[in-house]
DNA sequence: AATAAAAATGAATCGTCATTCATTAATTCA
DNA sequence: TGAATTAATGAATGACGATTCATTTTTATT
């Protein structure tokens, strides 16, 4: 019987290696070495290199997705839901920096398999965000003059780029709590029902 | 005499090919075919595949950077400067979608050469944004309780993710003007001096 | 027009892995 | 314990593609 934990062992090793060298520069032999097994063993658990990458996404993003979904299901207020989404994302990225790096790079790849994953699983994850926005607009706590998809992208982009600093570490590195607090202040202030900003076109 | 325009021809072909297949899946022969020249000719103009990629960044991002810098230098008001930065970025990404795709994917790669470019040239570009924020805080038009680096990341992330939709085109695709307007509303509303948001921690 | 210099060509080279599979090791079970 | 089954190994295979360079073509010079 194949040890169930060897599957997880390989995924964990692969996540580290992909994060360090990127998917294309990572060799199967690198992953094998990191996992302290033979190259061939990997093929007893995965079909090929792409399969490993997709499995990483399935496992890690799947976990974040379902946890966030469950927590949100218990709430009514869109603002609380948004806070949960943000906290869950940032916590997960802080906890598993290797996965964060892999996701933030490889999920943008144009390969057919990645694209498919992005257009289904990942899109579903992001659409939670859009649903929260729409709900907030219905509840009249988020402004309705802005398009939910644009808000969704804005928030996700902000989350991703903010958490990316934890990996590249060239600039001042804020604690999780600080980052959450500041991001939430910034985003919510822009999102709440209020007087619209009026500003001239330059040039 | 080597035609100066062949250099540009290759860069343009490479940008298309990299955007479509990604740097690692792109073959030199693909670029040559796109440019309608022989494989070997490329090596009369570039040292290697990486050199092509870096040259693309140098040319395109360099142009955006210096144009934005010049325009900003003429202004005093941080809010106007911010608007210029945002408009310039989004206009450039809308105009050259292939480059946008290349930049948004390949600039995140972990290769030494890319990392170096990111940590110098690209960092300089982004730091314009940080400077604008700091100025706005000094001018007391942007709130000072938020960290400039976090704001910088938030804004850039929002810009990138918002403009990425123009390439992946799975969801509703807003005009440049709409996007600029909405993003600016959202970001500025969050950034302007105002009453802080108070919100409970969930769970 | 003939020669020289510069550019361009693309077939051949060479290194690099992903993947396979014959062999060995470990585990199960009778 | 000793087959029989399952898992693991890692050397060998084969495809792929970046880069080179001997040859051809184009352009400049006299």
CA distances from B40 to B1, B18, B52 (A): 17, 18, 14
**Residues whose CB is below 7 A of strand C:** A 1, 26-29, 39-40, 43, 48-50; B 1-3, 6, 37-41, 43-44
Contact A202, B91 (CB under 8 A): no
User: Distance from residue A41 (CA) to nucleotide C16 (C1'), in Å?
Assistant: 21
Cα(A161)–Cα(B53) distance, rounded to whole angstroms? 22
The CATH code belonging to domain B56-191 is 1.10.357.10
**Residues whose CB is below 7 A of strand D:** A 1-3, 6, 37-41, 43-44; B 1, 25-29, 39-40, 43, 48-50
* Lowest mean pLDDT segment, chosen from A111-120, B12-21, B119-128, B173-182: B173-182
Domain ranges of chain A: 1-46, 54-191
Q: What is the pLDDT of residues A30-68, one digit of tens each?
A: 999 999 999 999 999 999 999 999 999 999 999 999 999
**Residues ≥6 apart with Cβ < 8 Å to B196:** A185, A189, B143, B145
Are the folds of A1-46 and A54-191 the same?
A: no
Helical ranges in B74-175 per DSSP H: 78-95, 97-106, 112-117, 123-138, 148-168
How far A126 CA sits from the closest chain B CA (Å)? 12
Mean pLDDT over each residue of chain B, to the nearest integer: 91
User: Distance from residue A114 (CA) to nucleotide D20 (C1'), in Å?
Assistant: 35
Interface of A with B in 37-96 (CB under 8 A): 71, 75, 79-80, 83-84, 87
Q: What is the pLDDT of residues A140-183, one digit of tens each?
A: 999 999 999 999 999 999 999 999 998 887 676 778 888 899 99
Which of A24, A75, A186 faces B154 most closely, judged by CB atoms?
A186
Cα(A35)–Cα(A41) distance, rounded to whole angstroms? 10
Which of A150, A172, A183, A201 is most worth mutating to test chain B (most B CB atoms within 10 A of its CB)? A150
B64-70 long-range CB contacts below 8 Å, 24 or more apart? B64/B88, B64/B89, B64/B92, B64/B125, B65/B121, B65/B124, B65/B125, B65/B128, B68/B125, B68/B128, B69/B128
Helical ranges in chain A per DSSP H: 4-21, 28-35, 39-45, 49-73, 78-95, 97-106, 112-117, 123-138, 148-168, 176-191
* Percentage with pLDDT > 90 across chain B: 81
pLDDT band for position A1 (cuts 50, 70, 90): very low
Per the structure block, which two tokens stand in for B188? 């500025």
Distance of CA B105 to the CA centre of its chain: 11
Residues of B in contact with A20 (CB under 8 A): 110
Q: Is the pLDDT of residue B201 over 60?
A: no
**Residues ≥6 apart with Cβ < 8 Å to B6:** B37, B41, B45
Per-residue pLDDT at A2: 55
Q: What average pLDDT does this structure show over B156-170? A: 89
* Lowest mean pLDDT segment, chosen from A15-29, A69-83, A167-181: A167-181
Please state the ipTM of this predicted complex.
0.92
Q: What average pLDDT does this structure show over B193-202? A: 52
**Residues ≥6 apart with Cβ < 8 Å to A128:** A65, A68, A69, A72, A85
Per the structure block, which two tokens stand in for B84? 């210029």
The phi-psi region of residue A28 (left if phi > 0; otherwise alpha if psi is between -120 and 50; otherwise beta) is alpha
* Lowest mean pLDDT segment, chosen from A14-28, A141-155, B189-203: B189-203
Asked if the Cβ–Cβ distance from B188 to A196 is below 8 Å, we say no
Q: Is the pLDDT of residue B184 over 80?
A: yes
The backbone torsions φ and ψ at residue B38, rounded to the nearest 5 degrees and listed phi first, read -85, 155
The CA radius of gyration of chain A, in Å to the nearest whole number, is 19
Per the structure block, which two tokens stand in for B151? 């704001």
Per-residue pLDDT at A107: 97
Cα(A166)–Cα(A172) distance, rounded to whole angstroms? 9
Q: What is the pLDDT of residues B50-80, one digit of tens each?
A: 999 999 999 999 999 999 999 999 999 999 9
Q: What average pLDDT does this structure show over A61-83? A: 97
Contact A157, B161 (CB under 8 A): yes
Cα(B27)–Cα(B45) distance, rounded to whole angstroms? 16
Per the structure block, which two tokens stand in for B96? 């050259």
Q: Is the pLDDT of residue A112 over 60?
A: yes
pLDDT band for position B196 (cuts 50, 70, 90): very low
CATH number assigned to the domain with residue range A54-191, chosen from the 4 options 1.25.40.80, 3.40.50.300, 1.10.10.10, 1.10.357.10: 1.10.357.10
Task: Identify which of A14, A19, A54, A11 has the alpha carbon closest to the alpha carbon of residue A167.
Answer: A19
How far A3 CA sits from the closest chain B CA (Å)? 33
CA distances from B83 to B33, B44, B71, B112 (A): 40, 42, 11, 33
Distance of CA A3 to the CA centre of its chain: 29
* Percentage with pLDDT > 70 across chain A: 92
Look-up of token digits 């989350």? A159
Task: Identify which of A39, A46, A98, A90 has the alpha carbon closest to the alpha carbon of residue A68.
Answer: A90
Task: Give the fold, CATH level 3, of A1-46.
Answer: Arc Repressor Mutant, subunit A (1.10.10)
Q: Is the pLDDT of residue A202 over 60?
A: no
Per-residue pLDDT at A194: 63
Q: What is the pLDDT of residues B102-134, one digit of tens each?
A: 999 999 999 999 999 999 999 999 999 999 999
How far A196 CA sits from the closest chain B CA (Å)? 7
**Which DSSP category does B146 fall into?**
S
């Amino acid at each position: 019987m194949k040890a169930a934990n060897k599957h997880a062992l390989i995924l964990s090793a692969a996540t580290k290696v992909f994060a360090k060298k990127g998917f294309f520069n990572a060799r199967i032999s690198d992953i094998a070495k990191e996992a302290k097994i033979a190259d061939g063993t990997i093929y007893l658990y995965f079909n090929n290199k792409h399969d490993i990458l997709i499995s990483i996404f399935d496992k890690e993003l799947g976990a974040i997705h379902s946890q966030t979904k469950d927590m949100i299901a218990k709430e009514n207020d869109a603002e609380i839901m948004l806070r949960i989404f943000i906290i869950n994302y940032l916590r997960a990225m802080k906890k598993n920096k290797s996965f964060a790096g892999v996701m933030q790079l490889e999920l943008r790849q144009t390969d057919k398999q990645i694209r498919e994953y992005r257009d289904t699983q990942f899109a579903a994850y992001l659409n939670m965000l859009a649903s929260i926005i729409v709900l907030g607009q219905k509840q009249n706590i988020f402004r309705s003059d802005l398009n939910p998809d644009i808000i969704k992208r804005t928030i996700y982009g902000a989350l991703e780029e903010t958490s990316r600093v934890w990996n590249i570490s060239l600039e001042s590195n804020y604690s999780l709590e600080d980052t959450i607090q500041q991001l939430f202040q910034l985003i919510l202030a822009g999102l709440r029902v209020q007087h619209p900003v009026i500003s001239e076109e330059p040039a």
